[in-house]
Amino acid sequence: MIEKQSDNIDNKENDVSNQDNAPDESSVQDYKTGNEESSPQKPEEINTEELKNTITNNDARLEQLEKEHETLKNQYVRISADFDNFRKRQSRDQDDLKIQLVSKTLTAILPIVDNFERARQQLKPESEEAQVLHRSYQGLYKQLVEILKQQGVSPMRVVGQQFDPNLHEAVLREPSDEFEEDFIIEELQRGYHLEGKVLRHALVKVSMGPGKQNSQEVVEKDKVEEDIDSEENTSEDV
């Protein structure tokens, strides 16, 4: 009987101690709420934020690359234009140099052509041997003229043309009844063109128009005619 009472007393003490050690419900609720607030964000929210940051960074990078591309494109266009201008300038300079070299060579040959023309005008072969020699000269002259034509050389035709200082060089001036003033009377040395440009100016004789003597004769003739007319009028009055 006494043992049962002591057991009951022990059981009551254990219950009291258990009640003291048991956590309060409000404390448990506060602990859960704190844990929920301090818990990390959900995976979906984290992925969305990272994706937005990635898109923003990519857009900025794309804009930068587009600017760099535009800059490089402009540089390429300028370099290409400069190279094209350089190539054209080099080609033009080479053409000019070629023309200068050809002009210098052909100018040195032209006196030989002049000598052939003078010989052709002066020589009048009579014997058979002289005629054979003359034909040989003529053959060489024709070959030389043909070579000049192949190189783009063409002679000027100046007699009867108006004097042009860009094409002609006046050596003599004299009165002429046949040609008006500043027209070419005679060609003293033939001029030549090379592909439209002057290779050698023509030496020419230029007309000064009717001479003083002829003009004086015309004046005197007119005066005589006036005197005759005046005499006729006087006789009619009488």
**pLDDT, tens digit, for every residue of 107-124?**
898 998 888 888 877 777
Residue 208, φ and ψ in degrees, nearest 5: -100, 5
pLDDT for res 169:
92
pLDDT for res 212:
56
Contacts of 116 (CB under 8 A, 6+ apart): 137, 140, 141, 144
**How many CB atoms neighbour CB 237 within 10 A?**
6
Task: Give the pTM.
Answer: 0.53
pLDDT for res 133:
78
pLDDT for res 43:
53
**Packed helices 43-122 and 128-150: angle between N→C axes, nearest 10 degrees:** 160
CA distances to 121, 160, 191 from 202, rounded to whole Å, are: 19, 13, 4
Contacts of 8 (CB under 8 A, 6+ apart): none
pLDDT for res 223:
54
Positions of the chain with pLDDT lower than 50, given as ranges: 1-6, 9, 12, 16-23, 25-39, 213-219, 221, 232-238
Taking alpha carbons only, the member of 212, 201, 141 closest to residue 165 is 201
Helix (H) or strand (E) holding 205: strand 202-207
**pLDDT, tens digit, for every residue of 70-91?**
999 999 999 999 999 999 999 9
**How many CB atoms neighbour CB 148 within 10 A?**
19
pLDDT for res 201:
93
pLDDT for res 121:
77
pLDDT for res 226:
57
pLDDT for res 44:
56
